[in-house]
Amino acid sequence: MRRIYSIGGGKGGSGKSFIAASLGILLAKHGKRVVLVDLDLGASNLHTLLGQRIPEKGLDVYIDKRASSLEEVALSTTIPNLYLISSTKCSLEIANIFYAQKLKIINAIKNLPFDYILLDLGPGTNFNTLDFFLIAPEGLFVTTPEPTAIENTFIFMKSVYLRKLKLSLKEANMWHICQEEITKLSRGALKSPLDLISILVARDPEKGRIFEDLLSDLEFRLILNKFRGQVNENLGEQLVEVCNRHLYPSFDFLGNISYDNRVYESIIARNIFIAKYPYTKTVSDLQNMVRDLTGEKQEPVRVRAQR
């Protein structure tokens, strides 16, 4: 069965690309066929984390119609079973691709013939980033224990919900009903998407419920990266509880990933961290996540808000 995960989370430097690359490598070592898609258009660097130079082709070739399928531009890496679709050659303007092009890319990604498709997203909350994030029904949010990173992650999460709601409302020809409220919400301080749902339900109970279900289909997990000993060990669980209560009850905590200086050194030396330092806490944290994602670990008790 094909599984797609988006890896996002607002702030640049929180470790999204490092985690995407590392999870990809570990899944491939598990015998899965894995493709990493670099969707940080304009600032892609996933190849670097795989210890590679700038790839000769990628998403640009597919967009320019010089490849007949997206699979064709998935390059093999030094790791067996692991492939990379790079976007290094996508110029900065392409970060503002046309809507039709975007839809084409999105559809092609959804249909890539791999066991695992991991999408590495850029920072920020522009529409393309949000639309790419929403390709996957399952999203992984990466944050670090810093207040600014956490704040950006909350903002990113809220934006994902509002974007999903907006697209669905447009599709259902209901956008005009609450355009004003959504626009207000996306500008103001963090308010729950549940506020919008209750507006919709008040206007039209039946349809409102449909949107509530639609948002409930999304499944999100939180990763707390660059975790250090002095950080409150419950922080991850607490954040998830806050998301479930104040955003939407769709979050689980996937785990902490320990901070390790050698991650940085490895990137500089074009080494693959998890290959060079397999017996570190950081790698065992990542391995636990892979076990969780592949269902080898027993399902943890889900901590969710009451319905």
Partner 1 sequence: MIKKFKDLNYYELLKIPYNASSFEIRQAYKHILAIYEESSLATYSLFAENERKLILSKIENAFLTLIDDKKRKNYDNNLVSTGEVSDNILTEKDKKKAIPIFQTSRARANNNSLARIKKKIQENKVADLATNMLKHDHISGKDLRNLRESLGIELEEIFQATKISPTTLVAIEKDDVVNLPPKIYLISFLKSYAEALQLDPKQVVDGYIKNIAY
Ligand X SMILES: Nc1ncnc2c1ncn2[C@@H]1O[C@H](COP(=O)(O)OP(=O)(O)O)[C@@H](O)[C@H]1O
Own/partner contacts of 206-215, CB < 8 Å, gap of 24 or more, are: 207/172, 207/174, 210/172, 211/165, 211/168, 211/169, 214/164, 214/165, 214/168, 215/161, 215/164, 215/165, 215/248, 215/250
Which C-beta is closer to partner 1: that of 269 or that of 303?
Answer: 303
Question: Distance (Å, rounded) from C-alpha 142 to C-alpha 253?
Answer: 11
Residue with tokens 């994902």: 160
Per partner kind, with CB cut-offs from 5 to 8 A, the member of partner 1, Mg ion, ligand X, none near residue 292 is none
Question: Do 254 and 292 meet the contact criterion of CB atoms below 8 Å apart?
Answer: yes
Per partner kind, with CB cut-offs from 5 to 8 A, the member of Mg ion, ligand X, partner 1, none near residue 242 is partner 1
Greatest CA separation for the chain: 59
The residue range among 26-34, 208-216, 262-270, 275-283 that interacts with partner 1, by the rule CB under 8 A, is 208-216
Letters for 16-45 (x = contact with ligand X by CB under 6 A, - = none) are: xxx---------------------------
Question: Distance (Å, rounded) from C-alpha 39 to C-alpha 120?
Answer: 6
The residue range among 14-22, 31-39, 88-96, 185-193 that interacts with ligand X, by the rule CB under 6 A, is 14-22
Binding positions for partner 1, 120-179, rule CB under 8 A: 145, 147-148, 150-151, 154
Binding positions for partner 1, 229-288, rule CB under 8 A: 232, 234-235, 238-239, 241-242, 245-246, 248-249
- Minimum distance from residue 214 beta carbon to partner 1 (Å): 13
